[in-house]
Amino acid sequence: MDAGRVDSSYLRDRRRLIEGLRSSGLEDLAILHAFDAVPRHMFVPDAVAHRSYEDVALPIGHGQTISRPGAHALHLSLAALGGDEKVLEIGTGSGYLTALLAQLSAHVFSVETVPELAAVAEQRLNGLGFTNITLRAGVGSGGWPENAPYDVILCGAAAPRVPPPLIDQLAPGGRLIIPVGDDGGQELVRVTLDRDGRQSEEIVDRARFVPLTGEQGWG
């Protein structure tokens, strides 16, 4: 990312957010640096920009929200990125998590079902100088098989069950983080494949996300 293009007017608020994340237990310096490098206020509508660095979800239009930074921090911690991974993100949304992922991995492929959001996110990310992100507008519940396998897959919408096509697109040693459930209750699940392709699942937190659309989602 071209740091010279980042508006510094919210710098104090951004640093306050980072200290809050650190106080809540986030110790990974690479993740903290990513939050410091990516200007969240540039990924939300002007009307709510003054709340950009609060640990709250904010509306971004089309019935979608940008998750609170604490939730993004959890997802990034679960992804356990070392810098050389190929990542698939399902649900680009504002593009903020996409940018954080791009700071922490080799390349991010991201799919957004709302074309208008995909277009705005691409414009923002290009404007910030990212060169390791590939975006596509379309239904992402079946993944993006043309670019598989992925070391990490993050899904930003809740599925009725862990979608088998996403498991099939994981590389050995890969991780899938996905909310599973409906409006009655959701759980954040991390699926891991060991080097021999054996699958394990763990429930790591409660969750509340919009429903995943498409064949592997809620329709």
Query: Which among 9, 23, 52, 67 is annotated as catalytic?
Result: 67
State the pairing for strand pair 86-90/64-66: unpaired
Nearest to 63 by CA among 2, 25, 103, 116: 116
Examine the residue annotation and report whether 94 is marked as an active-site residue of this protein: no
Burial of 31 (C-beta count, 10 Å sphere; 0-12/13-18/19+): buried
Count of C-beta atoms within a 10 Å radius of residue 165: 14
> Is the CB of residue 66 less than 8 Å from the CB of residue 133?
no
- Token readout for 134 is 């590939």
3-class state of residue 50 by DSSP = helix
Q: In what helix (H) or strand (E) does residue 31 lie, and over which residues does it extend? A: helix 29-37
Q: What is the DSSP string of 85-128?
A: -EEEEE--TTSHHHHHHHHHSSEEEEEESSHHHHHHHHHHHHHT
Q: Which residues are catalytic?
A: 67
